[in-house]
Amino acid sequence: MAQETTPGTSLEGSHPTYTYKVVLLGSMSVGKSSLAYRYVKNDFREFLPTVGCSFFTYTHNLESATVKFEIWDTAGQEKYQSVCHLYYRNAHAALLVYDIAKKETLKKAKLWLEELEKKFLPDEIVIALVGNKTDLAAEREVTTEEGAEFARTNGLLFMETSAKSNHQVNDIFMAIVQELLRREKEKASAPSPHERSTIDLKEGTPKRRCCWL
Ligand SMILES: Nc1nc2c(ncn2[C@@H]2O[C@H](COP(=O)(O)OP(=O)(O)OP(=O)(O)O)[C@@H](O)[C@H]2O)c(=O)[nH]1
């Protein structure tokens, strides 16, 4: 298992570097490894079994920032479920992957969402719902509207992809990058805890209070 890393931010002038942990979750064989492989290596292999967890890194050199992704690809097999919480601990983003040709895999993605909601506050993690295998259009069991509606009502990013035909794989990872950067900006423009003051009614004088005690 890869060593867990602490995300970091280094501010070099106006070009910061952010490191994020991104996890892929979902049923067995929905294409989690294939999506990671397509994204990082721009390739597709028919056979990419995951034993436990595998690990990829990818660096985005954007105009405004450098964004490093540590992508944790978890195995969908039931026997690994009991240790899965170790994989998504401290994650900044999660892709909940289902197979558009297997309805029950969307149910499993919904269960993953419940699990994440127990462990993270909404602003702690960016979650994307990903309907993979759009190239199997003739076998489709989940409509685009069904996925989109579930994502909309739960505040998730949503995209349908095909790791095989390279459809929207880059786009979903880039949507996650953009959302993470948007949140960084929002955090940076929020008043710093040092700036907040409270009034001590007993003494009648404004006091600075540190908010993370
Ligand atoms: N047609 C099609 N097949 C795909 C696609 N993505 C993955 N597959 C196939 O689906 C099977 C499972 O893919 P994986 O990437 O190993 O799926 P996984 O979710 O990582 O599976 P586990 O590691 O067992 O949890 C393989 O045979 C892949 O070739 C896709 O977009 N289209």
Residue pLDDT, tens place only, 67-107: 999 999 887 666 566 666 778 899 999 999 999 999 999 99
Q: Give the Å distance between the CA of 90 and the centre of ligand 1.
A: 26
Q: Give the Å distance between the CA of 32 and the centre of ligand 1.
A: 7
* pTM of the entire predicted model: 0.84
Q: State which amino acid sits at residue 82.
A: S
Q: Who's near 56: CB < 8 A, 6+ residues apart?
A: 36, 37, 39, 40, 69, 70, 71, 73
Q: Which residue has the higher pLDDT, 45 or 75?
A: 45
Provide residues with CB under 6 Å of ligand 1.
Answer: 26, 28-34, 46, 48-50, 75-77, 132-133, 135-136, 162-164
Largest CA distance in the chain: 73
Q: Which residue has the higher pLDDT, 175 or 46?
A: 175
Which pLDDT does position 11 carry in this prediction?
A: 54
Q: Give the Å distance between the CA of 131 and the centre of ligand 1.
A: 12
Mean predicted lDDT score pLDDT of the chain = 84
CA distance 88 to 26: 12
Q: How confident is the model at residue 14 (pLDDT cuts 50, 70, 90)?
A: confident
Q: What is the DSSP code (8-state) at residue 194?
A: G
Would you say 82 and 115 are in contact if contact means Cβ atoms under 8 Å apart? no
End-to-end alpha-carbon separation of the chain, Å? Answer: 34
Residue nearest to atom 21 of ligand 1 (CA): 29
Fold assignment, 17-186: Rossmann fold (3.40.50)
Over range 23-49, report the average pLDDT.
Answer: 91
Q: Which atom of ligand 1 is nearest to the CA of 44?
A: 29
Q: What angle do CA 87, 92, 96 make, to 5 degrees?
A: 65
pLDDT of 5 > 90? The answer is no
Q: How confident is the model at residue 1 (pLDDT cuts 50, 70, 90)?
A: very low
Q: Give the Å distance between the CA of 158 and the centre of ligand 1.
A: 19
Q: Give the Å distance between the CA of 111 and the centre of ligand 1.
A: 20
Kind plus residue range of the DSSP H or E element containing 68? strand 66-74
Residue nearest to atom 1 of ligand 1 (CA): 133
Residue in 24, 28, 48, 136 to alter for ligand 1 test, most ligand atoms within 8 A of Cβ: 48
ipTM topping 0.95: yes
Q: How confident is the model at residue 206 (pLDDT cuts 50, 70, 90)?
A: very low
